[in-house]
Every structure is written in C-alpha cells, then in structure tokens.
Amino acid sequence: MDMTNQQYNQYVSEKADPSPLWKDCLWAFCVGGAICAGGQGLLALYKSWGADQEDAGAWVSITLIFLASLLTGLGVFDNIAKHAGAGTLVPITGFSNAMVSPALEFKSEGFVTGTGAKLFTVAGPVLAYGISASVIYGVVLYIVGLF
C-alpha cells in the first residue's frame, strides 16, 4: 500500500485524538508557574533565615536540583511531566531530570559503562554548546570592549 504524504497526513488526522491545546498550555503554564513560585518562596524563606541574596539564590538552586533529582529517582517527576508537559521544563528542574534519568536507566550496566557513560547523553550536548557559546560571547565582548 503506497501512500502519498497528503494521504498519510489525512490517515493520521483521522486516527489521532485531537489534542486539547489550550488546556495543555494552561496546565503547563500553571505547573511551571508553581515551580517558579515555589522557588521564590524558598528564596524568601532562606533570606528570612539570614542568608543574603546570593547565598539564598544558591540554596534555592541546590534545593530545586535535589527535589527534582529525588522525584526523578522515585518515578514521580515523570508522572508529573506526563500530565504537565512543558511546564516541568523550568530550566533547573528539567536539567536535573535530564541528568538523573539516563543515569537511572543504565545503572544495571554498571557504574562505569552504564551510569558513568550514559550520564551525559542528554545533558552533554547542552553543556558543550552552552560552554562553547559562553566562551565565544566572552571573546566577542572582550574584543568589543577594546574599541
């Protein structure tokens, strides 16, 4: 059975359930907002305990990374992400999940060949491109500053 692209698209649209786009967007916005509001609440808490802005910000990052890693390890983060979609992609929690998930998936292959080798499968390119981009931007800023 040979199908053209148009026939295939029609076939898929007939079989697929329609996505509730606005509901998904609203839910993702609410979950992402809740994560950010929680981070803001943690910042206020740490500042009320006497930490300055910089230290409180560092503790918020540490707390959010820890919680996202813990929830990923317990399998809860994936359930939240299944329902919240892009709302869980708040950079710090999404990155933490992206680091922990491959490590858990390949732990049965051993610490070196499994966890160690696969730990950066998702996050590795992000780190490489991010660090490379920051070096390039720094060089450009330095050169612009010379003039």
- Which distant-in-sequence residues (6+ apart) come within 8 Å of 11 by Cβ? 3
pLDDT of residue 20: 87
Instruction: Provide the domain limits for residue 130.
Output: 21-146
Helices 21-48 and 76-84 pack at an angle, to 10 degrees, of 130
Please tell me the pTM assigned to this model. 0.71
pLDDT at position 13 is: 81
- Residue 1 maps to a domain: no
The backbone torsions φ and ψ at residue 75, rounded to the nearest 5 degrees and listed phi first, read 85, 5
**Positions of E strands within 29-104:** none
83 lies in a domain?
A: yes
In a domain, 11, yes or no: no
Residue 4 counted as domain residue: no
Q: Tens place of pLDDT for every residue, the chain, 147 residues?
A: 566 888 888 888 888 888 788 998 999 999 999 999 999 999 999 999 999 999 999 999 999 999 999 999 999 998 998 888 888 888 889 888 888 888 777 777 777 777 776 766 767 777 788 889 999 999 999 999 998
Q: Give the per-residue pLDDT at 101.
A: 83
Domain count, the chain: 1
Among 43, 90, 57, 56, CA closest to 71: 90
Residue 94 domain flag: yes
Backbone angles phi, psi at 47, to 5 degrees: -70, -35
